[in-house]
């Protein structure tokens, strides 16, 4: 594994330079999928399909850490019942049977007592259950938890980082010596640049963690932000100095658990061109809706394998080609253009897909140009609308019902919005100069999108620079 870039980092200690140059005893580069979002975890069948995709595309790791699986976080203390363990065992078997690494994650941070002997035993008891069904890779996650210690912990540890590092080192040492542990991953409390600057976990948390956490443990990092539009090489190089190891990227680019009205179907982008030089690995934590993740996961594999030759637009194209197979149904076959339009309208958090940019620009100009809107603009609008309607129908015909349910609600809204704009344009054509559509039969007063949340969202409005503005009168 190439660590040359780190070896060149000036000022790194001799030990760090040595480790980064020859890789020390570090395990292989991790690439794959992290099920680490809030909300309903994926089903057994979905995970099985995931493993098939990952194997076909050459990814190597699946990380099990579903935030809202009861036993992952809220009830981290209980052991699995035997029927639960049987299901997990078959998942681990499926995963490893495809040649993939299965990492089991546990998030005990919400109410943990770091210094208690009982905590150590409880964690080990759970991990031993997993070791008993063949798991060799483990993780402790301390993200999204209170960053203060109880008095009894403060009496034992000099810092929050020390408390987490000491506990993790102890657990890892037992797992390695008694349970054939191969790899241990650690998610810190400040896991992005913004949190580090805000001194989450206390001043100097990362430095102390880098110093105290066993050097064979990998540390997760999401980039400058929780959702990072880009992650620069020098950002990672500087972080590697602090952590005394290259970070393992937890990539939230395609996560949508924080905004469930969105889906992200675009290719990974904005990451360093040579991932293996700057990271211990990269795992993506994608959409809650499993079926939306085909192109994102496909693109991750291409990104990791192609390095400097990786092109997001080209990969989007080839990813769509590959995705077409999932769109079989009872009606007319889907065209590539239809799948592309569907994916384009969701794409990425910081960019619209190619078709979406064209559609939105056409919509802005026809709605804002008033009565001057040309016949050509109107027929372009009608064409978009017709394509959107046709996709709405074809979604209902899909054999893969999960794929249908993934997009149906969102597409329904898009279709209805297009119909509303069409009504508005018809009205304006019939009453030149008027820019108010008096009523739409499908939109009775008080029934427009969003219910209570819409009122809440209208109280504070986000400006283009990210600031929020309040105080405008709201019609409730």
| Residue ranges that bind ligand GDL, judged by CB under 6 A | 36-38, 67, 143-144, 187, 191, 222, 226, 250, 252, 255, 257-258, 285
230 with 199: CB under 8 angstroms?
no
Q: How far is the CB of 226 from ligand GDL (least distance, A)?
A: 5
Rounded Cα–Cα distance for residues 378 and 382 (Å): 6
Please state, in angstroms and as integers, the Cα–Cα distance from residue 26 to each residue in 30, 56, 167, 174, 215, following that order. Answer: 11, 25, 21, 18, 9
The distance of Cα 56 from the centroid of its chain, to the nearest Å, equals 21
Closest to ligand GDL by CB, 206 vs 366, is 206
Rounded Cα–Cα distance for residues 432 and 422 (Å): 15
Rg, Å, the chain Cα set: 25
Closest to ligand GDL by CB, 107 vs 312, is 107
Of 267, 254, 385, give the one whose Cα is nearest residue 317: 267
Q: How far is the CB of 145 from ligand GDL (least distance, A)?
A: 10
Closest to ligand GDL by CB, 258 vs 448, is 258
Catalytic: 144?
Answer: yes
Break the chain down into helix, strand, coil percent, rounded to 5: 50, 10, 40
63 with 283: CB under 8 angstroms?
yes
In this structure, what are the phi and psi dihedrals at residue 181, rounded to the nearest 5 degrees? -60, 130
Closest to ligand GDL by CB, 89 vs 225, is 225
Q: How far is the CB of 7 from ligand GDL (least distance, A)?
A: 28
Closest to ligand GDL by CB, 259 vs 417, is 259
Q: How far is the CB of 223 from ligand GDL (least distance, A)?
A: 10
Q: How far is the CB of 67 from ligand GDL (least distance, A)?
A: 5
* SS3 sequence of 58-114: CCCEEEECCCCCCCCCCCCCCCCCHHHHHHHHHHHHHHHHCCCEEEEEECCHHHCCC
Q: How far is the CB of 268 from ligand GDL (least distance, A)?
A: 15
Closest to ligand GDL by CB, 129 vs 293, is 293
- Residues 6+ positions from 283 with CB-CB distance below 8 Å: 30, 31, 32, 33, 34, 61, 63, 248, 249, 250, 251
- Enclosing H/E stretch for 51: helix 44-57
Given the residues 144, 207, 257, 402, the one annotated as active site: 144
Q: Which residues are catalytic?
A: 144
């Amino acid at each position: 594994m190439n660590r040359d870039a780190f070896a060149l980092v000036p000022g790194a200690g001799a030990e760090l330079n040595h480790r980064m140059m020859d890789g020390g005893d570090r395990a292989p580069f991790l690439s794959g999928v992290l099920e680490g979002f809030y909300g309903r975890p994926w089903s057994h069948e979905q995970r099985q399909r995931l493993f098939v995709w990952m194997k076909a595309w050459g990814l190597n790791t699946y990380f099990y850490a579903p935030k809202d699986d009861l036993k992952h976080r809220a009830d981290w203390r209980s052991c699995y019942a035997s029927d639960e363990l049987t299901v997990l065992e078959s998942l681990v078997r499926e995963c490893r049977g495809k040649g993939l690494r299965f990492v089991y994650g546990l998030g005990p941070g919400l109410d943990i007592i770091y210094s208690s002997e009982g905590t150590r035993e409880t964690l080990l008891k759970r991990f031993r259950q997993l070791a008993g069904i063949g798991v060799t890779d483990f993780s402790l996650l301390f993200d999204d938890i209170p960053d203060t210690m109880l008095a009894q912990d403060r009496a034992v540890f000099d810092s929050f980082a020390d408390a987490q590092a000491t506990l993790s080192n102890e657990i890892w040492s037992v797992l390695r010596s008694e349970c054939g542990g191969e790899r241990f991953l650690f998610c810190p409390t400040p896991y992005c640049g913004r949190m580090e600057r805000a001194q989450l976990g206390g001043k100097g948390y990362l430095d102390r963690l880098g110093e105290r956490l066993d050097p064979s443990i990998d540390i997760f990092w999401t980039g400058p932000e929780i959702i990072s539009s880009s992650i620069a090489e020098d950002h990672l190089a500087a972080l590697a100095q602090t952590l005394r190891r290259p970070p393992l990227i937890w990539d939230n680019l395609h996560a949508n658990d924080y905004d469930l009205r969105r889906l992200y179907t675009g290719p990974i982008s904005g990451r360093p061109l040579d991932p293996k030089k700057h990271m211990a690995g990269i795992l993506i934590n994608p959409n809650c809706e499993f079926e939306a993740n085909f192109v994102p996961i496909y693109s991750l594999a291409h990104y990791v394998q192609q390095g400097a030759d990786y092109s997001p637009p080209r990969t989007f194209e080839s990813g769509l080609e590959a995705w077409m197979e999932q769109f079989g149904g009872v009606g007319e076959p889907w065209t590539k253009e239809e799948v592309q339009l569907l994916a384009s309208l969701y794409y990425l958090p910081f960019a619209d897909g190619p078709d979406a940019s064209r559609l939105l620009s056409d919509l802005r100009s026809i709605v804002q140009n008033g009565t001057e809107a040309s016949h050509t603009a109107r027929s372009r609008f009608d064409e978009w609308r017709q394509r959107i309607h046709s996709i709405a129908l074809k979604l209902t015909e899909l054999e893969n019902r999960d794929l249908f349910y993934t997009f149906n609600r969102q597409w329904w809204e898009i279709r209805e919005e297009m119909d509303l704009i069409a009504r508005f344009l018809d009205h304006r054509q019939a009453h030149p100069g008027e820019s108010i559509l008096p009523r739409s039969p499908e939109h009775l007063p008080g029934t427009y999108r969003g219910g209570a949340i819409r009122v809440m969202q209208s109280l504070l409005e986000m400006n283009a620079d990210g600031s929020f503005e309040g105080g405008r009168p709201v019609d409730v």
